[in-house]
């Protein structure tokens, strides 16, 4: 009885065996030709490899050569003493006649050996087989040799049903509610058909990277208890023209055999980019897109397949892909708000051993702009720090260190001059003091530190009380003053000749805030309530939109006036409270880090709580 493995032999295997055999024969022949040996009657191995002679040696020893057999540019023969030789011989009739007159038996061999025939026909045979291999891979549904060669089978079938459900997805409750109709359709199609309702055939999930688009697609399939097919958009592109169309057909045929089911295409912008009249070099990609459009809304509409696409570049997609009937519903997954971040942290915290006093609420407040993936990575970094520190449980210190590392970069152990450390302390003390003065309109301080991280020599962190959707003009002016307070403190305590480049990031942030407030929010009385937003195009700055050169000059002048006023405001506040700011700076020099409560107590004139002094970081 034949083994099943023997039946699996195909043309690919036969081709590889044939190639390996021919290669072994050629190598073996070459090896034998260059390693000729003879065993004497005494059992001694004597090398019979011919002596190699140069062309000049042949001319010099012409009287010693007995025979000479010329084939191509090579000559072989025997010397008068019986020694075999090989030499490079240039064909010259006059020279050969001279050898013959000297008594050498000269012969010319024009025949070809079997190795010569192999050298001619093996490359041709290999080329023909390779072409057949490629064309067989383009036949479509079958798993051809060409497809196996290029690794072009993208379909990842989840056998059974995905175990992920909506319980495993946190922080996007409104998006989950939007997708419950799809789950209900996959569970019970009849109640929709009874009212004549048509469930969306396609759903496009868009949003920032790490917001949970792939996880949400798996959760829909797990919640509906249906098969789940997944592929990436780049899997449908290859070096062979027509292969993308074939793979689109293949994955949809596979999905139809398992309907009702979900078909998920991640990074769909790889094949769904907007078509152009001049895209001659993208014909294969456009053919793949055309096939996808046909499969999603062709002649057979009732397939039971719901296609879910995911992308963070929705603006690049072709309009035909976004029309009703294909991607009927477009769900934008935003970055989680504060409540969403707390839910995500609580979900991932179940897998990590933490101390009971870890405040995930404060962590959610201090991670504005973090995606779900960022929050999961933050908790993982805190666990790694706890392991390095030898802690049995993850504590608040590990959480703080992980957050600072992700937001500002790893801690730098650099050697700094004492005057630089002192100037950094006064710089951060200026930020902290002005922040406390404006605490009624800005976010409260979480901590101030002079421990260098990334490119920053120190920082002052704020914790928002809630998610902000807008800023008042009073808050904008206060924030500008806070940003300018570091440079103002340097000038007040060390003089205008001692200011440093440490305020570079502060000035950039203040300029961006002032420009946005003036050009898009209409907060300037001189510019008015008009949108003159300045845009960027591939890194090149363009003129202001819908604005003349005169308006652009007014905008620049207004931005400068706002930042100058903020700087004067910060200098005035710090100059009137030099003793308090100096005390803050001295405390920072001693402890390196102050909490928000400690800063508030120093500013209000109370004695700071006695805390365990932190070990100073060695700046090597």
CATH number of the domain residue 315 falls in:
3.40.50.300
Beta bridge partners of 461: 447
- Active-site choice (250, 401, 428, 592): 428
Among 333, 354, 387, residue at a domain's last position: 333
pLDDT value at residue 137: 53
Q: What is the mean pLDDT of residues 270-276?
A: 81
Give the number of other Cβ atoms within 10 Å of residue 244's Cβ. 25
Q: What is the mean pLDDT of residues 460-479?
A: 85
Look at residue 575 and tell me whether its pLDDT is greater than 60: yes
Beta bridge partners of 88: 74
pLDDT value at residue 86: 85
Helix (H) or strand (E) holding 108: strand 105-108
Check whether residue 393 and residue 459 sit in a common domain: no
Residue 311: domain span: 153-333
Q: What is the mean pLDDT of residues 571-595?
A: 91
CB of 562 closer than 8 Å to CB of 573: no
How far is residue 244 from each of residues 232, 236, 279, measured CA to CA in Å? 12, 5, 17
CA triplet 606, 610, 611: central angle to 5 degrees? Answer: 130
Please report where in the chains the tokens 């000729």 appear, as a residue.
Answer: 36
Q: Are strands 534-537 and 540-544 parallel, antiparallel or unpaired?
A: antiparallel
Is 129 inside a domain boundary? Answer: no
What is the band of 295 on the pLDDT scale with cuts at 50, 70, 90?
confident
Q: Which two tokens stand for residue 441?
A: 């309109």
Average pLDDT of every residue of the chain: 78
How far apart CA 179 and CA 170 sit, in angstroms, is 14
CB of 532 closer than 8 Å to CB of 545: yes
pLDDT value at residue 530: 83
Which of 446, 467, 566 minimizes the C-alpha distance to 510?
566
pLDDT value at residue 417: 82
Check whether residue 344 and residue 317 sit in a common domain: no
Q: What is the DSSP string of 504-515?
A: HHHHHHHHHHHH
pLDDT value at residue 16: 60
Look at residue 49 and tell me whether its pLDDT is greater than 80: no
CATH of the domain at 554: 1.20.58.760
Check whether residue 54 and residue 106 sit in a common domain: yes
Is residue 428 part of the annotated active site? The answer reads yes
- Residue 260 preceded by cis peptide, ω within 30: yes
Q: Which two tokens stand for residue 192?
A: 């929709």
pLDDT value at residue 84: 85
Q: What is the mean pLDDT of residues 308-330?
A: 87
Is 620 inside a domain boundary? Answer: no
Check whether residue 477 and residue 534 sit in a common domain: yes
Model-wide pTM > 0.85: no
How far apart CA 356 and CA 379 sit, in angstroms, is 15
Q: What is the mean pLDDT of residues 380-397?
A: 91
Instruction: Give the list of residues 6+ apart from residue 405 with CB closer than 8 angstroms, or none.
Output: 381, 411, 453
How far apart CA 492 and CA 478 sit, in angstroms, is 19
Look at residue 6 and tell me whether its pLDDT is greater than 50: no
In 3-state terms the chain splits into helix, strand, coil percentages (rounded to 5) of: 50, 15, 35
Check whether residue 177 and residue 239 sit in a common domain: yes
Which of 114, 217, 210, 129 minimizes the C-alpha distance to 166?
217
Length of the chain: 620
What pLDDT, in 10s, does the model give residues 336-386? 888 889 999 999 998 888 988 888 888 888 888 888 889 999 999 999 999
Please report where in the chains the tokens 């093996």 appear, as a residue.
Answer: 122
How far apart CA 451 and CA 305 sit, in angstroms, is 55
Sheet holding 593-595, edge to edge: 459-462, 445-449, 593-595
Q: Are strands 445-449 and 156-158 parallel, antiparallel or unpaired?
A: unpaired
Taking each helix axis as running N to C, give the angle between helix 372-389 and helix 338-349, from 0 to 180 degrees, rounded to the nearest 10. 50
pLDDT value at residue 356: 86
CB of 423 closer than 8 Å to CB of 382: no
> What torsion do the CA atoms of 157, 161, 164, 166 make, to the nearest 10 degrees?
120
How far apart CA 201 and CA 326 sit, in angstroms, is 6
What is the band of 33 on the pLDDT scale with cuts at 50, 70, 90?
very low
CB of 284 closer than 8 Å to CB of 239: no
pLDDT value at residue 514: 94
Beta bridge partners of 265: 231, 309
Q: Is 52 helix (H, G, I), strand (E, B) or coil?
A: strand
User: What single DSSP character describes residue 484?
Assistant: H
What pLDDT, in 10s, does the model give residues 59-84? 777 777 888 888 777 788 888 888 88
**Which range (47-56, 398-407, 479-488, 504-513) has the least confidence?**
47-56
pLDDT value at residue 106: 79
Is 446 inside a domain boundary? Answer: yes
Tally of domains in the chain: 4
Check whether residue 469 and residue 349 sit in a common domain: no
Give the number of other Cβ atoms within 10 Å of residue 438's Cβ. 19
Look at residue 328 and tell me whether its pLDDT is greater than 90: no
Is 365 inside a domain boundary? Answer: yes
CATH of the domain at 403: 1.10.8.60
Is 70 inside a domain boundary? Answer: yes
How far apart CA 295 and CA 614 sit, in angstroms, is 64
User: What single DSSP character describes residue 233?
Assistant: G
pLDDT value at residue 393: 92
Is 123 inside a domain boundary? Answer: no
Higher-pLDDT residue of 150 and 423 is 423
Which of 183, 220, 185 minimizes the C-alpha distance to 205?
220
Check whether residue 268 and residue 361 sit in a common domain: no
Check whether residue 289 and residue 361 sit in a common domain: no
Among 279, 302, 333, residue at a domain's last position: 333
Is 137 inside a domain boundary? Answer: no
Among 115, 138, 168, residue at a domain's last position: 115
Check whether residue 230 and residue 347 sit in a common domain: no
pLDDT value at residue 126: 72
CA triplet 76, 82, 88: central angle to 5 degrees? Answer: 20
How far apart CA 104 and CA 238 sit, in angstroms, is 63
Check whether residue 251 and residue 349 sit in a common domain: no
Which of 390, 332, 392, 382 minimizes the C-alpha distance to 359?
382
Backbone angles phi, psi at 410, to 5 degrees: -70, 155
What pLDDT, in 10s, does the model give residues 142-171? 444 444 444 444 444 444 567 788 888 888
**Which range (14-23, 49-58, 186-195, 290-299) has the least confidence?**
14-23
Segment of 81-90, 226-235, 330-339, 406-415 carrying the highest mean pLDDT = 330-339
Check whether residue 355 and residue 208 sit in a common domain: no
Which of 276, 273, 250, 274 minimizes the C-alpha distance to 263?
250
Please give the biggest Cα pair distance in the chain. Answer: 120
Is 360 inside a domain boundary? Answer: yes
CATH of the domain at 90: 3.30.720.210
How far apart CA 33 and CA 31 sit, in angstroms, is 5
User: What single DSSP character describes residue 542?
Assistant: E
How far is residue 571 from each of residues 5, 428, 478, 483, 616, measured CA to CA in Å? 83, 14, 13, 12, 30
The radius of gyration computed from the CA coordinates of the chain, to the nearest angstrom, equals 39
Check whether residue 89 and residue 204 sit in a common domain: no
């Amino acid at each position: 009885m034949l083994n099943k493995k023997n039946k699996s032999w195909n043309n690919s295997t036969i081709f590889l065996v044939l190639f390996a055999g021919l290669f072994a024969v050629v190598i073996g022949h070459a090896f034998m030709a260059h390693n000729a040996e003879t065993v004497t009657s005494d059992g001694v191995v004597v090398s019979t490899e011919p002596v190699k002679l140069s062309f000049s040696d042949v001319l010099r020893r012409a009287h010693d050569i007995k025979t000479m057999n010329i084939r191509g540019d090579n000559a072989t023969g025997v010397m008068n003493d019986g020694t075999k030789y090989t030499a490079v011989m240039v064909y010259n009739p006059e020279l050969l006649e001279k050898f013959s007159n000297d008594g050498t038996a000269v012969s010319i061999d024009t025949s070809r050996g079997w190795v010569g025939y192999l050298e001619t026909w093996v490359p041709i045979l290999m080329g023909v087989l390779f072409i057949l291999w490629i064309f067989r891979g383009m036949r479509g549904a079958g798993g051809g040799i060409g497809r196996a060669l290029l690794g072009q089978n993208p379909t990842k079938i989840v056998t059974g049903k995905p175990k992920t459900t909506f319980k495993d997805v946190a922080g996007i409750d409104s998006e989950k509610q939007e997708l419950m109709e799809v789950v209900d359709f996959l569970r019970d199609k009849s109640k929709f058909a009874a009212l004549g309702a048509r469930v969306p055939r396609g759903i496009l999930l868009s949003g920032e990277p790490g917001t949970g688009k792939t996880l949400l697609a798996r959760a829909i399939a797990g919640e509906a208890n249906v098969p789940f097919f997944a592929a990436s958009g780049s899997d449908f592109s290859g070096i062979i023209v027509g292969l993308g169309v074939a793979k689109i057909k293949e994955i949809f045929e596979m999905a139809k055999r398992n309907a009702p089911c979900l078909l998920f295409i991640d990074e769909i912008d790889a094949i769904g980019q907007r078509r152009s009249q001049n895209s001659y070099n993208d014909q294969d990609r456009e053919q793949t897109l055309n096939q996808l459009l046909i499969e999603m809304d062709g002649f057979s509409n009732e397939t039971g397949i719901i296609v879910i696409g995911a992308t963070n570049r929705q603006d690049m997609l072709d309009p035909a892909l976004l029309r009703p009937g294909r991607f009927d519903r477009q769900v934008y997954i935003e970055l989680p708000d504060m409540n969403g971040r707390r839910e995500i942290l609580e979900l991932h915290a179940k897998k990590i051993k933490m101390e009971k006093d870890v405040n995930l609420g404060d962590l959610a407040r201090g991670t504005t702009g973090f995606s779900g993936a960022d929050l999961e990575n933050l908790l993982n970094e805190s666990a790694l720090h706890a392991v390095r520190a030898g802690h049995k449980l993850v504590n608040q210190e590990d959480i703080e260190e992980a957050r600072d590392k992700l937001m500002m970069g790893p801690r730098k152990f650099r050697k700094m001059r004492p005057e630089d450390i002192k100037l950094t302390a006064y710089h951060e003390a200026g930020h902290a003091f002005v922040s406390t003065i404006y605490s009624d309109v800005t976010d409260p301080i979480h901590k101030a530190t002079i421990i260098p991280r990334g490119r920053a020599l120190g920082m002052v962190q704020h914790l928002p009380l809630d998610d902000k959707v807008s800023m008042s003009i009073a808050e904008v002016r206060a924030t500008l003053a806070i940003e300018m307070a570091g440079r103002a403190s340097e000038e007040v305590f060390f003089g205008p000749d001692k200011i440093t480049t440490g305020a570079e990031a502060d000035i950039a942030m203040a300029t961006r805030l002032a420009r946005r407030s003036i050009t898009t929010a209409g907060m300037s009385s001189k510019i008015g309530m008009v949108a003159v937003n300045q845009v960027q195009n591939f890194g090149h700055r363009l003129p202001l939109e819908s604005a003349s050169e005169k308006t652009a000059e007014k905008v620049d002048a207004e931005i400068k006036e706002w930042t100058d006023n903020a700087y004067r405001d910060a200098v005035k506040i710090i100059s009137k409270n030099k003793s308090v700011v100096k005390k803050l700076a001295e405390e920072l020099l001693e402890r390196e880090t102050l909490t928000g409560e400690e800063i508030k107590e120093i500013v209000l004139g109370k004695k700071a709580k006695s805390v365990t002094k932190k070990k100073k970081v060695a700046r090597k």
